[in-house]
Amino acid sequence: MQLVRTVAALREALLPARRAGQTIGLVPTMGALHEGHRSLIRRAREENDVVVVSLFVNPAQFGPDEDLAAYPRDEQGDADAARAEGADLLFAPPVQEVYPPGFSTTVHVAGVSEPLEGAQRGASHFDGVATVVTKLFNMAQPDVAYFGQKDAQQAAVIRRFARDLDIPVRVQTCPIVREDDGLALSSRNAYLTADERRRALALSRALQAARDAVAAGGRDAAAIAAAAREAMAELDVEPEYVALVDPETFLPMDTIEGDVLVAIAARVGRARLIDNATITVNIDSEVATLR
């Protein structure tokens, strides 16, 4: 695996593959790689000739009160993990390579970026994500880019601008990887104390409560959200939001039919955690398929 730190070096390293018509898979990350990230790299390895993992803690997507300075960083550990999963290139640029002096452009995605994470973290969050991912797409020019369903709204924002801007990339979303007890893996889980780690199960339990409510015949979004909130209260966790939305537009659903995304965010101690599940309700057979 080759480590590159500049856009010029990345392009040079990818040139032979591109000329030979080989496929390039890109896995954008902010590092502190865990099994969730590794599952994306494995999928990219299975599906492409060349795999690029990017490692960049993007200051533009952190708010002034967020954890940019404290965000876990372990470049050596990340390089070992990426190599072990078969990555060919690790692209780890310094901040000034991505945002040189004079940088003035923002990619803003209206609509899907506005509710939930956009409302909680401020519009600049998804502006920062959309801008850096657009840049990564232009830097690496991948055939396929891999993202986790863990950040479902982020993936929807990326699908939206890739389509809107005619970027020739397939945006592939991959399933959420969880601990055995249900907690979704996250670099921010490192902030949890032992007691907070126990209470962090509130999110996955709430998703299970939502699934159970649908399986029991519930179709009213407010009632399903209330069941999820109740499950969180049992672990003394107050959600920032529990929302039932259309998985593509993130518009709220009142009565659920077809695919619905149940999205949850909550602060547990110092960690701000998010989780989600897609529930499919087949209105003809009245059978709820759970994912």
| Site of interaction with ligand AMP (CB under 6 A) | 29-30, 36-37, 39-40, 147-148, 150-151, 174, 176-177, 184-187
Q: How far apart are CA 106 and CA 99, in angstroms?
A: 11
Question: Is the CB of residue 238 less than 8 Å from the CB of residue 266?
Answer: yes
Taking CB positions, which residue lies at the least distance from ligand AMP? 148
Our answer to whether residue 37 is catalytic in this structure is: yes
Give me the least distance between CB of 169 and ligand AMP, in Å please.
14
Cα 145 from chain centroid? Answer: 12
174 vs 256 by CB, closer to ligand AMP = 174
Angle at 283 between CA 279 and CA 287, to 5 degrees: 60
Maximum distance among all alpha carbons in the chain? 59
Give me the least distance between CB of 31 and ligand AMP, in Å please.
6
Q: How far apart are CA 36 and CA 130, in angstroms?
A: 21
DSSP-assigned letters across all residues of 84-111: HTT-SEEE---HHHHS-TT--------S
142 vs 148 by CB, closer to ligand AMP = 148
Q: How far apart are CA 149 and CA 129, in angstroms?
A: 15
176 vs 260 by CB, closer to ligand AMP = 176
Give me the least distance between CB of 29 and ligand AMP, in Å please.
4
117 vs 143 by CB, closer to ligand AMP = 117
Give me the least distance between CB of 219 and ligand AMP, in Å please.
29
Residues serving a catalytic function are 37
